[in-house]
Every structure is written in structure tokens, then in C-alpha cells.
Structure 1
């Protein structure tokens, strides 16, 4: 039997672990969080994604208790947090800098919070041993932070945060200090650790790839508001606005005017060009301006004219070779550039297309997402 899909947010009987209810946070005249309402469920790996200054860290600091809302309520497990100080919340926060004690060993760093709580010695030793196993640090227990790598320090900080078995772990740009390859490896480790412990993780990041890799749901933020909350695949395939489409991955945005036609809409987009056609479940009125968002990998590029309805003629203006992929920047009517991506299954010398070639771009009726704004 297939495992049930983890999606508590679709079940009306599930009670959220965290509830933001009409939360606003002002710093003087500046509104950092603007009337925000959002539920987060137990065992979720929830990502807050957005550019610098969009309010994601403020949201997290309010959860931890370092900031209080100007208006609205934050509930954790049904309890209003407004009067609960940070050290009394079943919440732990892991900072970007890791903030390890340089003079303590890895073992003592992990044990620190448990010792402060006055736990018995054998209980502390058992818990730290468990955390060392979980983060694969057994061999480094007696080393000091400066004697281990950045990736290992990151795991020590994670082990220390999880040692007190918080209901909720907040991670503020936790992989910011790691190089690209190590980040990727650590992302999968984080997911693995989160699944094994069953702790709810809320991560703040401006790295879309990171959010897409680790999260059960992603909240895309802009100027103190959540613009869209959905699973990574929904955010990528069905963005609800140009802002979200543009923030996640590469995308082509074609502006035009919609006319209802058969099973979808015809979109007039450039003078003396045949209209493009798109299917959508959204309703548009006749003559309404719209945006088509099309991912480069959904666009085919060829020298022969294709047999499809959506086709545009253009000239190869630039080629970005990324090893496994090539992205062709094609100049089309109206001096627009449309990007098409192909997987490099053949060696470079055998590829047909080059700069200044005349090409055809084509895509299916369902490849583009029609957006209002």
C-alpha cells in the first residue's frame, strides 16, 4: 500500500500547531508584517521565502518571542504566546552564525541547554549520544568548533537546537555560510533529520532552490505579506502571480490581451503575429490584459516549423551552456527575448543550433500559465 501523502493542511479536522491571526508588526512608521494570517501544521517543514526586507525574519522572531506583534495573535498548540517569554516556549532557534561556544567541545556544546536545565548526568549523556548519531558527528564529539569544517559546525548547531526536543525549530538562513555543493548535501540531511525527529521546522531563506528542496510548503513573501502558500511543485507549476512566477526559477513572461476562444483563450501579444493560445481554469473577460508565464524547459526549439498552434519565429541571440542544460535566448518579434532550455544529451560538437540561427519556438496549450497580475 502506498504511504499516505503528508498534507495536513488539506484536512479540515487537523489542528494547526502555529496560528498567525491578523498579525501586524510595525517598527515606527515601517510596517514589517501586514495583517498576516497563516496556519502551520505539526511535522511540517515550512519555508518562508522572499527577498531581503520582505518580513520573513520578523515573522520568525515573533514566533521565537524576540519581537511582539503590534496587532493580532500568535498561537502555538492553541496557546496565545503574547505573555510567554522566549525561554518558556517549546521553540528553539538556530541562527545563521551558529553561535557555538569556541571553548567547549562538540559534546559540551550539544549538552549546554540540557545542563542548564539541570537534567541528570546519565540522561544528558544518552541524549547527546543520540544527537551525535542523528547528525553523524560521533567521531567529532571531543573536538572544538575550530577543529571541524563549516558543514560539521552547522550540524553541531542543529544537534544543540534539537537536544531539548523542541516542538518547533526555527532556522534563520541556516545554510548561508556553506558553499554550493555542501549546501545541497546539507539540504537533504536537514530533510532526513526533520523526518526522523518529527519536529516542526520553519526555515527562513532567500534561496529558492533551498526552499524547493526542503519544504513541505513554501510561503512566498513580499513587503510583509504572504503572496502564495503551496507545495514546491504547485508554486513552480501554478504560480498565482507574475511576482511568484518570476521569483521561483527562470520564466518567460509574455504580456497580451485575452479573447475567449474554444477551450481557452487566444492572446494577442505582438503586432502582425498570430495569437497564442492557452488553456486555464481562471476566468478572463474579453479584452482583458493578461500575462503568460512559460518555463524555458517547456519550450521546444527547432529549425523546422512545428505542427503546433503556439509557435513563434526568432533568431538565436545568445546561448548559455550550463553543462547538463543549454538555455537559448531567442529574439522574437517586438524585440522580445524568449528563453528555451534543452537537456544536453549529446556532446557539444554534435549540436545543431548556434548564434544567429533562425529557429522556431513552440509549446503546448497547457504549458503556459495565464496570470492576471
Structure 2
């Protein structure tokens, strides 16, 4: 029996001939002297699950509200499916929005909550019943159709709100921190349910979140925002493995940043001179002039820790100052020369009652040149 063929790669952003569903050009929003969104250019493609990720106040929710029609841009343009959205009221846009609070009607049943928007649009009763039944099957709530919102769990209420948002078959569904009210375990489970529903419906999803793990889990691509600007747009893997700046490297996941000056480059290997005198080698696809202030970004799981000097491109001696045992992994906080703390993460593949290392042990940290990324901004 042969293995099934792998699914086709979904990457319309890499296709020069693909036409984006959403096109933002120079999008700007000011509130008096405050610029909430600053000259944003962004393309989002049909069937994407796209995340706007950043801290509170970075402008991500303002972009979503402008797409929904609740805010008018101060400058720039927005198009959806080729249609200019300027002046188009929210109820005339092929867009729906799912709010963090879910905003369910407490006096209506699950089925009636889903049907509410369809009735407002004047859809025939027989069509409404069929559409509601389809949505209930999609979110696996058919048996709970007659219950009221207070009679179901938080995760089930979230799925009702999602079904109601999808019932009108919008071209674009906007999700504003949709999982924020759920506990961690349920949030993780619901992330995968969202992905399955998005794939089954083919609707373009744009989610606003400050939760990097959520964005990395559900998204086809992520836009990382800071102070009203988009600082990097890429797939979750590209964002994590090849951050474009110190800000992105620190915002996404855990990272070690070693400040240094660029030295010479030989056959693609760049020499970095750290402030403590350490000499570090990193592969760099982009030339970096000698003397440039930069930083080495290296993820903790890519750093090996050992008692003896490792046979790797880079090796730094240090002393363990803290240990974080998390069950599946252990993170060691190691002080190197100059006082900087670097982290090394080790998978706990085998059961053991004692740590391999303990506090104040002298150790070596090591990694190969290809494991790090040099950042110049």
C-alpha cells in the first residue's frame, strides 16, 4: 500500500499571478495627534487564515475595525475582492465579525442565535432552517440546538458565535481575540477546531491576537505589528526561524540575543565580536559590512549544553544560575563571561528523578554557525 500524496502547498503569496482578496495600501488612522495605524501596506489572499499579532495598542484592532467598517481611515485605501471599501457601511460589506465577548442573545436558543442574521436579511424560512442545520453540523452542536447560551460551556458558546458569523457566508470573517475568554487547555483545543472549520468552509479568516502561540498555531501567515506599523509578514516558521529584527525575535518565542559588531565574512560565514570578547561565527546570506552593530539571535532549543567543550562552531563557557523544569523540557539559565544570561533548552526524552545539571555547575554552551541569525535592526 502506497502512502497518499501530500496535500498541495498553499502559498498564494508566493505566486506572482495570484490576486489578493484584501489589499491595504498606505492605510492610516489618526485620532487627533495619535497615529494608531501608520502607512500600512498589506495583501491577504483568499482562503488564508491570517493573524495580526502584536501587543496592546499596536494598531491591530484598529485595522480590523476599519475592514469591518466601524472606523473610517484617515488615509490610504482598502479593497476587498477588487471593491473599494471607502464609504461602504458595515452592513453592505461581505464581511462579518466575531467579537471576543461572543455577544450571544441570552433569551434565544443556540439555533435562533445562529439564525438571527439570516432572518434580518429576509431569507426564506425553509432556507434558514437548512442553513442553521448546516452550521450546527459544522461546529458539532446539533444536539444542543435548543439550549440557551447559559446552558452550554464557554467553548460551546464560542462555537455558536462562530457559526452565527459564518451563517451568512461572508467573504471575510474577522475574529477579535476570539479565544481570550477560554482557559489554556480549552483554548488549545479550540484553535484546532477553528482551523478545521476554516479549511472546511474556505472562508478567509483574519484574527487579531496578542497571543503568539495562538497566532503561530492557526495561521497561514502572521503580520507582527509595533506602534501602528507592520514590521514583518511571513509564515509562522519563517517568523520564528528568521526574524527580521530584534523586536520580532524577542516577541515571538524565547530567544538569546548577543550584541556584537560584525567582523570579516568568509565563504558566507560572518565573524561577530561580542562585547565580552567572545568571537562567534554565524552563517549570513546577506552581506554585513565590518564594524556594523548587530546581534546574534539563537533560540534556546538550538543551544547544546555539556560539561565538556563541544565540537561545534561556537562554544562559550559559563555557570548555571537558574533551572526551569517544565516536564517536557528543562531550560538552563547560564551566565557567560561579561554577566549575560543565555538559555539552553533540553528535551526530557527519558524519565529521570534528577536533573543532568544543577545550580552553579560549570558548563559549556555550543551551537553551529547555521543555527543562529544575524540581526542588524
Structure 2 length-normalised TM: 0.97
Aligned with 1:235 (options 228, 233, 239):
239
Deviation larger for 126-135 or 348-357: 348-357
Q: How does 1:247-326 map to 2 (within 5 A)?
A: 247-263=251-267, 264-273=269-278, 275-326=279-330
Q: Secondary structure at the match of 1:204?
A: strand
In the TM superposition, structure 1's runs of 4+ consecutive aligned residues that sit over 3 Å from their partners are: 270-273
Displacement of 1:346 in angstroms is 2.4
Aligned with 2:224 (options 220, 225, 229):
220
Q: How does 1:106-117 map to 2 (within 5 A)?
A: 106-117=110-121
Aligned with 1:345 (options 336, 343, 349):
349
Deviation larger for 344-353 or 214-223: 344-353
Displacement of 1:350 in angstroms is 4.4
Deviation larger for 186-195 or 301-310: 301-310
Q: Structure 2 CA distance, aligned partners of 1:73 and 1:100?
A: 33
Aligned to 1:35: 39
Q: How does 1:157-172 map to 2 (within 5 A)?
A: 157-172=161-176
Q: Structure 1 CA distance, aligned partners of 2:363 and 2:295?
A: 23
> In the alignment, does 2:29 pair up with 1:25?
yes
Does the 8 Å contact 2:100/2:176 carry over to 1? yes
Q: Structure 1 CA distance, aligned partners of 2:256 and 2:105?
A: 47
Displacement of 1:84 in angstroms is 0.9
Aligned to 1:95: 99
Does the 8 Å contact 2:259/2:275 carry over to 1? no
Aligned to 1:184: 188
Deviation larger for 4-13 or 323-332: 4-13
Gaps of 5+ in 2: none
Q: Secondary structure at the match of 2:369?
A: coil
Q: Secondary structure at the match of 1:335?
A: coil
Q: Structure 2 CA distance, aligned partners of 1:297 and 1:131?
A: 42
Aligned to 2:55: 51
Aligned with 1:12 (options 11, 16, 27):
16
Does the 8 Å contact 1:270/1:333 carry over to 2? no
> In the alignment, does 2:144 pair up with 1:140?
yes
Q: Structure 1 CA distance, aligned partners of 2:370 and 2:352?
A: 31
Deviations 1:321-344 (A, max 9, x none): 111000000000000000000001
Q: Structure 2 CA distance, aligned partners of 1:7 and 1:113?
A: 33
Does the 8 Å contact 1:103/1:144 carry over to 2? yes
Q: Structure 2 CA distance, aligned partners of 1:32 and 1:350?
A: 51
Aligned residue pairs, count: 372
Aligned to 2:332: 328
Aligned with 2:72 (options 54, 68, 87):
68
Q: Structure 2 CA distance, aligned partners of 1:5 and 1:14?
A: 14
Displacement of 1:349 in angstroms is 2.0
Q: Secondary structure at the match of 2:128?
A: helix
Displacement of 1:272 in angstroms is 4.4
Q: Secondary structure at the match of 1:366?
A: helix
Q: Secondary structure at the match of 2:363?
A: strand
Aligned with 2:365 (options 361, 364, 369):
361
Does the 8 Å contact 2:109/2:147 carry over to 1? yes
Q: Secondary structure at the match of 1:361?
A: strand
Aligned to 1:150: 154
Structure 1 length-normalised TM: 0.98
Aligned to 2:215: 211
Q: Structure 2 CA distance, aligned partners of 1:272 and 1:219?
A: 36
